Amino acid sequence: MTKQIWFCGEVVTMSLLKRCISTLPWIHFINLYSISECHDVAFVDLTDYYQKNKESMMARKFSPAGKVLPGVHIAIIGDEGKPLPVGIYVGGPTLARGYINRPEQQAQRFIPLLEGMPASYGDRLYRTGDWGYMLSDGSLEICGRCDTMVKIRGYSIEVQAVEAALLALPMVHACTVLVSGEEGEDKFLVAYIVKKEKTTKKEIRGELKRRLPFYMIPAYFVFLQSIPIVSTTGKLDKKALPPFDRNHSDDVQAEGRPSTAMEENLAAIWREVLRIQDIDIHESFFDMGGHSLLATELQQRIKEKFGVSMPVRELFTYPTVSLLSQYIEAMQSNGHDNSSRSSPLDKILTCNGDHGCSACRLDIQLRAFWRTFLHRHHFSKGRVLLTGATGFLGAFLLKEMLLNSELLVYCLVRELPNQDLMDRIKETMRKYSILANDSKRATEEQTSMESLFRKRVIAMKGNVALMKLGLSDDDYNYLTTETDFIVHAAANVNLAYPYSALHGPNVLGTENIILFSSTGKIKPIHYISTNGVFPHNMKGCTEDADVSDQWPYLTDGYSQSKWVAEQLVHRAGQRACPSPFTGWVRMRSICTSLTSPRSSPHLSPSALLEHRVASPCNDISSSG
């Protein structure tokens, strides 16, 4: 007799299903999507589905809920009543009559049939509050609750996406993430975790930093023996979770505790600023919940306590109690930093990874890539991924693509609080007079640009510094096959920040672009570098100069990070593909033509004057 376990009422993640099948291989796992107000909706034998579709399921976060049962109708509708992969609505004869003596909830949950929908759906739809997709085989996929979207410091956060990222970590067995803090105050996420293996909060936080934007990383982690559930329903029992004490943490190991008087005093300041009882002296200020406002407060406290004026940039260089205490002692002793630290470039020089790309698969992709030249490749009419479109250079690159090609441009854009992605790009283009601020005073070119922008620009929410470019699995998989080539112009241009503060966007971002370029199909990279990869005052620099031996002479973090990124691009071209695969452009001072009133915000007035007198056009050194 077949033994079965039925899932009902909760999202079944792939990590949960894999654990179940490996632990109980003789059990058949059934997923039933059933709701009291509309009875059974969909059904699937997950064990059978997993065995038949194992390879495709490995790339997904959620298990399917199965095909919709006969007579039941599903509508997936956006906030404005448009058919979109957002909210799930159910129609058909199985709907309940409604709620007794609850008219407000009745009106919210049971809505009239929308215009244009088939009469077979009935005269009403039930709003489930779940969101998901219809898969290509007709199966329904439930991804979570619509009401698990929260806002923290202006950022929209899908709580279940944070849980899914945690469950994907090898050291996490189970977890739940809750929002703590009052609305309008210092709201934050707390992750309750059941460990699969020995680990620390620092290790978990470090893994999440590679997968999620900073605003989605829980501020606090609590380790549990098990996740409490309500015995009658099997759902999470929030009331049974141990009370979270923001002022106490018990995960600091012996090597993480202060060992000197300076470390003790500095840790005491961190406790007050971060409002955490125990401080690990080797953990970053920013990883423990610190942000720009708290960094300013820390800066002031250090000045009052130790008499040392510390620029905020030094907090990026010395982000831990251990490193910062050495810096303060050196400043008190002789007025300058004499701490000994190895170059951040040392590790990258010995790194020769393949970015997860097998030689066999890459060879097949390369053959397909070269055939695009035989069959009239469509690089002037295809699809391009542009990074850095909200920057000065990126805005003008986008302008040229729209005016001088038929390209469809996907712009990778970081999310900012309370700002629409397309509005961010438009704001930049208006700032530099590419688009008109007032449509009534628009030039002919600006009017044309407005039309081209609407037709051929698509903004994608992401972040180059994160795994899969910070894109959703669906968006990443789509772009890896649909994109024809890449223009990588995104970078954090800051001559004051150290290498460590720029490593994420400038180095990891380039690594992720290289991996993206060889995933799905080969996509040539056009990388925007800088003449900052040459040491200051170096003479006789040529366009195709080899700078591989110049890194010891680079003194600022921006030049160091761009040098490392350029070397990564160079190595990718050598390792994987001929020259069309990778190429770079080394930018010097950047300004617009004399017909434009705008210039780069990173160019000083004196440099701008010197450049305008010398040449009316952009100064670009190119290589590759």
421 lies in the same domain as 546:
yes
Residues in Cβ contact with 565 at an 8 Å cutoff, skipping those fewer than 6 apart? 491, 506, 507, 509, 510, 527, 529
440 lies in the same domain as 518:
yes
409 lies in the same domain as 550:
yes
Residue 490, CA distances (Å) to 240, 459, 464, 591 in order = 46, 14, 8, 17
User: Can you give the residue range of the structural domain that contains 293?
Assistant: 245-331
Band of the pLDDT at 350, cuts 50, 70, 90?
Answer: very low
In a domain, 616, yes or no: no
Residue 359's H or E segment, with its range, is helix 359-374
Q: Tell me the CATH number at 117.
A: 3.40.50.12780
Band of the pLDDT at 575, cuts 50, 70, 90?
Answer: low
Say if residue 347's pLDDT is above 60: no
Q: Residue 142 has what pLDDT?
A: 81
Residue 123's H or E segment, with its range, is none
The residue out of 90, 119, 147 marking a domain boundary is: 147
Q: Residue 611 has what pLDDT?
A: 39
* C-beta of residue 512 within 8 angstroms of C-beta of residue 466: yes
129 lies in the same domain as 215:
no
402 lies in the same domain as 547:
yes
264 lies in the same domain as 140:
no
Domain count, the chain: 4
In a domain, 296, yes or no: yes
Residues in Cβ contact with 593 at an 8 Å cutoff, skipping those fewer than 6 apart? 616, 617, 618
Q: What's the rounded mean pLDDT across residues 265-284?
A: 82
Q: Residue 252 has what pLDDT?
A: 55
Q: Residue 191 has what pLDDT?
A: 92
Tens digit of each residue's pLDDT (9 = 90 or more) over 132-147: 887 777 788 887 777 6
Say if residue 201's pLDDT is above 60: yes
Q: Residue 616 has what pLDDT?
A: 36
What percentage of the chain has pLDDT greater than the value 70? 78
In a domain, 545, yes or no: yes
49 lies in the same domain as 180:
no
Q: Strand 582-587 to strand 525-530: parallel, antiparallel, or no bridges (unpaired)?
A: parallel
Q: Residue 11 has what pLDDT?
A: 77
Give the single-character DSSP code of 532.
G
Band of the pLDDT at 349, cuts 50, 70, 90?
Answer: very low
Band of the pLDDT at 245, cuts 50, 70, 90?
Answer: low
Residue 132's H or E segment, with its range, is strand 124-134
Counting every residue written for the chain, the total comes to: 624
Residue 32, CA distances (Å) to 49, 119, 327 in order = 14, 26, 59
Q: Residue 402 has what pLDDT?
A: 93
143 lies in the same domain as 202:
no
Band of the pLDDT at 183, cuts 50, 70, 90?
Answer: low
70 lies in the same domain as 170:
no
Say if residue 20's pLDDT is above 50: yes
Helices 261-274 and 292-306 cross at an angle (nearest 10°) of 140
Q: Tell me the CATH number at 199.
A: 3.30.300.30
538 lies in the same domain as 420:
yes
Q: Against a cut of 0.85, is the pTM above it?
A: no
Task: Select the highest-mean-pLDDT range: 189-203, 310-324, 394-408, 527-541.
Answer: 394-408
Residue 364, CA distances (Å) to 372, 503, 521, 523 in order = 13, 32, 9, 13
Q: Which two tokens stand for residue 349?
A: 């020089």
In a domain, 304, yes or no: yes
Tens digit of each residue's pLDDT (9 = 90 or more) over 597-616: 565 565 544 444 333 333 33
Q: Residue 581 has what pLDDT?
A: 46
* C-beta of residue 504 within 8 angstroms of C-beta of residue 470: no
In a domain, 235, yes or no: no
The residue out of 89, 114, 147 marking a domain boundary is: 147
Q: Residue 248 has what pLDDT?
A: 54
Band of the pLDDT at 620, cuts 50, 70, 90?
Answer: very low
Q: Residue 598 has what pLDDT?
A: 60
Band of the pLDDT at 454, cuts 50, 70, 90?
Answer: very high
**Mean pLDDT of all residues in the chain?**
79
Band of the pLDDT at 374, cuts 50, 70, 90?
Answer: very low
In a domain, 584, yes or no: no
128 lies in the same domain as 211:
no
Say if residue 83's pLDDT is above 80: no
Distance between CA atoms of 279 and 295, rounded to whole angstroms?
16
In a domain, 168, yes or no: yes
In a domain, 94, yes or no: yes
Tens digit of each residue's pLDDT (9 = 90 or more) over 152-175: 777 778 888 888 889 889 899 888
Q: What's the rounded mean pLDDT across residues 373-379?
A: 49
Q: Residue 343 has what pLDDT?
A: 46
Say if residue 78's pLDDT is above 70: no
142 lies in the same domain as 168:
no
